[in-house]
Chain A
Amino acid sequence: MQTQSRQQRLAALRDIIADIERKPALAGMQARPFGADGEGFPRLPGGLLQEVFTDAVRNGGTSLAFALGQAKALLTPRRLAVLYLQLDKDAQFFGLPYGPGLSSFGFDPAQLVLVRAADMQDLFWVAEEALACRAVAGIVADIGGAPEALDFTISRRLSLRTVESGTSLFLLRYGTERQASAAHLRWHLMPQRSGRKAFDDRAPGAARWSLKLEKGNAGQHKSEWILEWTGNAFKSLPNWIGIAAQSPSGTPVSLSASALLANPISQAG
Chain B
Amino acid sequence: MALDPDADREGLRLGQALADARAMVPSLTVMEQDSARLASAFAAFADWHSNASPLVTVLQDKTPFGDLILDITGVAHLFGGEAAMLDMVLSRLQTLNYTVSGAIAPTIGAAWAVSHSAKSAIISTEQLVETMDGLPVAALRLEESQISLLAQMGLKTIGELRTRPRKPLLARFGASLILRLDQAYGHIEERMTPRLPPAEHFVDRKFFEPISTLEDVLLTTEGLAQKLARRLEVQGLGAQTFHLFLYRVDHKVMTLSLNAARLTRDAEHIASLFRHRAQRLEQENYDPGFGIDLVRLAAASLDRLDPGQTGVFETDTGARDIEQLTDRLASRLGTLSVLKTELMASHIPEQAARLVPALVHQPQDIGLSSDRHRPLRLLPQPEPVAINAEVPDGLPASMIWRRQQYRLIKAAGPERISAEWWRSGKRLELVPAAHARSDEPGEKPKPSPYMPDLPPFDPMSGMRDYYVVEDGAGHRFWVFRQGLYGGSIHPVWYLHGIFP
What is the chain A residue whose CB lies nearest that of B413?
A203
Residues of A within 8 A of B319 (CB): 80, 135
Which of A4-12, A106-114, A151-159 is the interface stretch? Answer: A106-114
Cα A125 to Cα B353 in complex, Å, equals 28
Residues of B within 8 A of A257 (CB): 389-391, 394-395, 397
Choice from B321, B328, B353, B499 contacting A100 with Cβ under 8 Å = B353
Cα A136 to Cα B329 in complex, Å, equals 14
Cα A43 to Cα B333 in complex, Å, equals 34
> Which residues 107-142 of A have a CB within 8 angstroms of B?
109-110, 112-118, 122, 125-126, 129-130, 133-136
Question: Is the pair B341, A102 in contact by a Cβ cutoff of 8 Å?
Answer: yes
Is A179 an interface residue, CB under 8 A from the partner? no
> Which residues 475-500 of B have a CB within 8 angstroms of A?
475-476, 497-500
**Separation in Å of the A174 CB from the closest CB of chain B?**
13
Contact flags (1/0) for B328-352 with A, using CB distance below 8 Å? 1100110011111111000001001
Choice from B340, B377, B391 contacting A110 with Cβ under 8 Å = B340
Is B474 an interface residue, CB under 8 A from the partner? yes
Question: Is the pair B498, A134 in contact by a Cβ cutoff of 8 Å?
Answer: no
> Which residues 60-90 of A have a CB within 8 angstroms of B?
60-62, 64-66, 68, 77-81, 88
Task: Determine chain B's interface SS by DSSP, over half rule.
Answer: mixed
Residues of A within 8 A of B408 (CB): 252-253
Question: Is the pair B397, A253 in contact by a Cβ cutoff of 8 Å?
Answer: yes
Is B468 an interface residue, CB under 8 A from the partner? yes
> Knowing A135-B322, A191-B474 touch, does A101 contact B377 (C-beta < 8 A)?
yes
Cα A68 to Cα B500 in complex, Å, equals 11
> Knowing A60-B377, A257-B395 touch, does A204 contact B412 (C-beta < 8 A)?
yes
Which of B133-141, B225-233, B378-386 is the interface stretch? Answer: B378-386
**Separation in Å of the B183 CB from the closest CB of chain A?**
50
Residues of A within 8 A of B373 (CB): 104
Choice from B372, B390, B401 contacting A254 with Cβ under 8 Å = B390
Choice from A58, A114, A126 contacting B340 with Cβ under 8 Å = A114
Cα A135 to Cα B214 in complex, Å, equals 31
Is B97 an interface residue, CB under 8 A from the partner? no
Is B448 an interface residue, CB under 8 A from the partner? no
B contact residues, total (Cβ < 8 Å): 68
**Separation in Å of the B384 CB from the closest CB of chain A?**
13
Question: Is the pair A98, B317 in contact by a Cβ cutoff of 8 Å?
Answer: no
Contact flags (1/0) for A37-56 with B, using CB distance below 8 Å? 00000000000000000000
> Which residues 441-500 of B have a CB within 8 angstroms of A?
468-470, 472-476, 497-500
Cα A60 to Cα B477 in complex, Å, equals 11
Question: Is the pair A115, B333 in contact by a Cβ cutoff of 8 Å?
Answer: yes
> Knowing A109-B353, A250-B409, A252-B407 touch, does A92 contact B325 (C-beta < 8 A)?
no
What is the chain B residue whose CB lies nearest that of A65?
B500
Question: Is the pair B411, A101 in contact by a Cβ cutoff of 8 Å?
Answer: no
Pick from A109, A136, A193, A204 the residue with the most CB of B within 10 Å. A204
**Separation in Å of the A208 CB from the closest CB of chain B?**
7
**Separation in Å of the B220 CB from the closest CB of chain A?**
24
**Separation in Å of the A122 CB from the closest CB of chain B?**
6
Is B26 an interface residue, CB under 8 A from the partner? no
> Knowing A110-B341, A135-B325, A252-B397 touch, does A192 contact B474 (C-beta < 8 A)?
yes
**Separation in Å of the B451 CB from the closest CB of chain A?**
33
Question: Is the pair A135, B397 in contact by a Cβ cutoff of 8 Å?
Answer: no
Is A103 an interface residue, CB under 8 A from the partner? yes
Cα A150 to Cα B352 in complex, Å, equals 35
**Separation in Å of the A125 CB from the closest CB of chain B?**
8
Residues of A within 8 A of B333 (CB): 115-118, 122, 126
Question: Is the pair A253, B325 in contact by a Cβ cutoff of 8 Å?
Answer: no
> Knowing A58-B475, A207-B499, A253-B409 touch, does A81 contact B322 (C-beta < 8 A)?
yes
Is A200 an interface residue, CB under 8 A from the partner? yes
Cα A139 to Cα B173 in complex, Å, equals 70
> Which residues 200-248 of A have a CB within 8 angstroms of B?
200, 202-204, 207-209, 229, 245, 248
Residues of B within 8 A of A114 (CB): 338-341, 355
Is A95 an interface residue, CB under 8 A from the partner? yes
Question: Is the pair B470, A109 in contact by a Cβ cutoff of 8 Å?
Answer: no
Residues of A within 8 A of B375 (CB): 61, 95, 98, 101
Residues of B within 8 A of A251 (CB): 409
Cα A115 to Cα B334 in complex, Å, equals 10
Is A2 an interface residue, CB under 8 A from the partner? no
> Knowing A79-B318, A252-B409, A258-B391 touch, does A117 contact B470 (C-beta < 8 A)?
no
Is B13 an interface residue, CB under 8 A from the partner? no
The 4 A-B residue pairs whose C-beta atoms are closest, nearest first, are A65-B500, A99-B353, A95-B377, A135-B318
Interface residues of A (CB under 8 A from B): 58-62, 64-66, 68, 77-81, 88, 91-92, 94-105, 109-110, 112-118, 122, 125-126, 129-130, 133-136, 190-194, 197, 200, 202-204, 207-209, 229, 245, 248, 250-255, 257-258, 260-261, 267-268
User: Knowing that A68-B376, A192-B474, A260-B394 are A-B contacts, what are 9 other residue pairs whose CB atoms are under 8 Å apart, sorted by A's residue number?
Assistant: A65-B500, A96-B355, A100-B352, A109-B341, A190-B474, A204-B411, A252-B408, A253-B396, A268-B414
Q: List 11 A-B contacts (CB under 8 A).
A: A58-B475, A78-B317, A81-B318, A101-B497, A104-B371, A115-B329, A129-B328, A135-B321, A191-B476, A203-B468, A207-B499
